[in-house]
Structure 1
């Protein structure tokens, strides 16, 4: 579904990515792991055309998308839950959802409210009145209402209370059961190892390891060396 080969990019004169390659097949949950500042968000932004690629290839469902403007890439079927959520604070919950909804597909307002009942309770509240956890629920639902073929979550549970975090993980488990293709950035390695099919560890703009959840769990030294703070 998504294939990235030799991707390079950066900001101004600074080079951040040095030949990133990764693959997300249809129906897979794949993670990008790594400490802060290693290039994970830059990878996502380059995939989506927010940061121009300097070299490499990106194909999505067989179509070359490297260098396309972000709006065209998203219309091809990629939904983003950005780091920091970025909900529209002066629109209500329901207005945030309706503003980006795109069909046809399985996701609509009713399904979003079923997935996160709290959003239905707060549907008339402004985005800026929501808690961090509620904003993350809204950001996920907003992306799902575009009915994406691939869902990308950047820092899926960062800064959330444990109960809210578990609600987000349960949502991701349900999405996986439905066959949704997902690319996740997060630091909760133990939970990700239970949910995801494959993992990529990013360090200083390079993929330094890739493998399955079983391989990740069988090598504690790998996490200690490359993922521990």
Structure 2
């Protein structure tokens, strides 16, 4: 998954990026509203993490603009304000959740997972598609009576497919979602990871199929 972190605190931003990267996510960081707008103009994100107090304005302005454009990308607000009125205010502006700083990283990660599940229309960590079950928290596929442990890139790639079965993803779009700007990778890397996932799915009725000239999709 690709996240946009809008946070001007260098130390906190570095800690968040490192923590999410360990889970296999790609995180772009913006330290101002202007940088955030530039990022959103050039990339699609699965989740936005938004600080309120930024050098060039109020994060709530960005949130209002984001929803005014009917952009459905979920937003978690990071705020030092714990008053009920502040929390209600950001939720009414269109935030999907908020977390008060300082926060525990285990809770932070859990809130990210919960928001992403809701976006995919999934209630829990386990997603069933046909005869396979995917556990997003444990990173496992249950196929044909076996549990298969996925590596980070495989996990994040399959997460994209399983959350949108039937949707076609081009190789370039998948590269965007899986790799950061400073990683020098080609679209051939996607073929490698898709090949690995297909091997895991050989005993399942679900499969990742190639749509010639367009990309890949999960068929159940």
- Relative contact order higher in (CA < 8 Å, ≥ 6 apart): 1
TM-score calculated relative to the size of structure 2: 0.31
The structure with the greater share of residues assigned to helix is 2
TM-score calculated relative to the size of structure 1: 0.30
* Structure whose CA Rg is larger: 2
